[in-house]
Amino acid sequence: MSSPFRTYAAISLPRIVSNFQSIKAVAEPGSQVAAVVKANAYGHGMIEVSRALASAGARWLCVSSVEEGIALREAAVAAPRILVMGGYFSYEAEALAAFQLTPAVHSLEQIRELDSAARLAGSPIAYHLKIDSGMGRLGTRAEASEILATIAETPHASLEGLLTHLASPSDFSSTQTAEQTARFREILDALCDAGVKPRYLHAASTGAFAHGRAETFCNMVRAGISLYGYVPRTRGAAPPQHLAVKPALTWKARLVTVKEIPEGALVGYGGTFRAPRPMRIGVAGAGYADGVMRSLSNRGRMLAAGRPAPILGAVSMDLTTIDLTHATALRPGDEVTLLGEEGGARIDAQDIADDAGTIPYEILCGIGARVHRLYT
């Protein structure tokens, strides 16, 4: 795919749907796959991706905020259920009911707030209760007896699901996942013994189900970065990866200029690169305002004429300079690849993350708003 834009991301919706189907195949038979589309679908475009997944049969979409959930409803995305995972504020409780959003509740006080909102709305509000089983972030640390007492006091709020968030599912050198799973099961068993049986149970995200951590499987799994073609790296003695997915996004930029520089010439702000020989350089029309991380200065690379082209000097706001000594045919207006495949060479988000000293999530989510998204 080519385009007239200075910089653009080409996104394969069929690839995302194929990844979704692969995830369903490794989940427990009959379980739901909740598709995580928060943060603009990890940079891929929340509305377009959500529509494709809903058409492919996704019954649950997961967002971070009430605002994201409202955006999906206003776009008439066909998915029947939207789970707000990242917390909400008390003044947003009415919007949960108005837009038929299902909140992940993180405290007993929030259950009481929902009960009040549901009573005023005249209809019950279903929620999923998040258990802080050891991550130490969102979720309640209340004992089962406290949870049961609160449920008994809040008849207008309906406990539909129970979830937790695993902090280290890809780390097989740690006991944290086993400890968190045991705590989650302890709470669940106590609720069930008291006759409270949530319909949906979920703990596993990509790192857990991609490597067959069956003890974390329930009747729902949350698929995040795997939808977009990536599986977190493991630590320790990990079993074989059960899941095969492929990246869905290619990011390109056009060369604004191409020029020859002599030996000793300085490149970029601060003159942090000095040409060791006569060189041919190109200036790509994307910089840190577009998501090319500044930490890639003198470290990262793009693909030009099917080969790696090192980044020279400091990444600036709108432009990034690369070595085109090998690419004598390229001219201003030609495209280079920031992320994707070209001529048999490949740079994916994990490769860029390695160069930048971060994780692929940040690379994908950091692709800026002025990078045009084009869909196939």
Query: Is the domain of 212 the same as that of 259?
Result: no
Structure tokens belonging to residue 370: 């002025």
Query: Is the domain of 174 the same as that of 280?
Result: no
Query: Is the domain of 315 the same as that of 223?
Result: no
- What confidence score (pLDDT) does residue 80 get? 87
pTM: 0.94
Query: Is the domain of 104 the same as that of 200?
Result: yes
Residue 19 counted as domain residue: no
- What is the domain extent for residue 337? 249-375
Catalytic annotation, pick one of 38, 42, 88, 252 = 38
Q: CA 208 to CA 182: how far, in whole Å? A: 15
- What confidence score (pLDDT) does residue 205 get? 94
Query: Is the domain of 46 the same as that of 115?
Result: yes
To the query of whether residue 269 is one of the catalytic residues in this protein, the response is yes
pLDDT along the chain (376 residues), means of 10: 87 98 90 96 98 96 98 93 96 91 97 93 93 96 98 96 96 95 97 97 94 91 97 92 96 98 98 98 98 98 98 98 97 98 96 97 97 96
To the query of whether residue 230 is one of the catalytic residues in this protein, the response is no
Query: Is the domain of 47 the same as that of 87?
Result: yes
Angle between helices 46-55 and 13-26 (to 10 degrees): 50
CA distances from 279 to 20, 274, 376 (A): 45, 10, 37
Residue 234 counted as domain residue: no
Burial of 18 (0-12, 13-18, 19+ CB in 10 A): middle
Query: Is the domain of 126 the same as that of 162?
Result: yes
Query: Is the domain of 181 the same as that of 268?
Result: no
Catalytic annotation, pick one of 200, 252, 269, 288 = 269
Query: Is the domain of 48 the same as that of 193?
Result: yes
